[in-house]
Amino acid sequence: MKWREGRVINRIAIPVTRRCNRVCPECPARGDSQTPVEELKWVGKMLGPIGKIELTGGEPSLHPDFEEISKSCHDWFDCKDIMLLTNGSIPDSKLPLLLNYDRVYITHYTNEFGIRHHAQPNTGDVNRVEDYLKKNGKKFWTQRMDKHTPIGSPPYTGIPACGYDRGDSVGYGQGRIYGCCVAFWLSDKGDSIPLTRDWRDHLSEIELPCQSCFISGEKK
């Protein structure tokens, strides 16, 4: 599926690690690779000003340099809205690091999810992180996950980051810009472009990986 012309990019998803304490069905973000701190600094210089950054994974807090990333991300990126995506599996000793982010996005794998997919729910961790963020006045959003949606046919609706549907977001991975937030993890990533200072001028060269997307929703 080709990149839609005329899109204005205001967001980028940057995975900092493939490590995760969960093995969710269909999610390909597994492994042991990390995005080094020096690479994140380089991304910040090349990316230029952008409205929103989403630091994701895997589980970002499992990055060995998570403390440095949390404390320095605003120095590296020209962005006033940096969000951390987490499943809440953050030890109490690391919770203060969440206050360095502008927003926190927590994925809640419910009891229904656990039953459906034979997986452990994370309700206790989610409640613990929510309580801490509320106490400290930090903005957060909790996304309830009762199931993983089956892969269908693109384009999709109801996916805020979908490269085809909403169109304000791209993803980063190993020096390249991809058409959506999950493309970097997929075996069929679509066509990407190198991250250069003029990357916005080359967006039309991207082809989206919709056929292999694992977060598909209701068909249009």
**pLDDT at residue 168 in the model:** 84
- The two three-digit tokens of residue 159, written as one number: 């996916």
Question: Residue 54: what residue type?
Answer: E
pLDDT band at residue 166 under the 50/70/90 scheme: low
Q: Is residue 3 part of a domain?
A: no
Range with lowest mean pLDDT among 20-29, 47-56, 121-130, 140-149: 20-29
Helix (H, G, I), strand (E, B) or coil at 172: strand
**pLDDT at residue 165 in the model:** 52
pLDDT band at residue 154 under the 50/70/90 scheme: very low
Q: For residue 84, what is the domain's CATH number?
A: 3.20.20.70
Asked whether residue 58 carries a pLDDT value surpassing 70, the answer given is yes
H/E element holding 142? strand 140-145
Domain that holds residue 62: 11-219
> How many distinct structural domains can be found in the chain?
1
The more confidently predicted of residues 193 and 152 is 193
**pLDDT at residue 178 in the model:** 92
Q: Is residue 4 part of a domain?
A: no
pLDDT in tens, 81-119: 999 999 999 999 999 999 999 999 999 999 998 888 888
Q: Is residue 55 part of a domain?
A: yes
Q: Is residue 2 part of a domain?
A: no
CA-angle at 204, arms to 35 and 39, nearest 5°: 15
Mean pLDDT of the chain, nearest integer: 87
**pLDDT at residue 169 in the model:** 86
Q: Is residue 95 part of a domain?
A: yes
pLDDT band at residue 220 under the 50/70/90 scheme: very low
pTM for this predicted structure: 0.88
Nearest to 217 by CA among 169, 167, 145, 155: 155
**pLDDT at residue 215 in the model:** 61
Q: Is residue 176 part of a domain?
A: yes
**pLDDT at residue 102 in the model:** 98
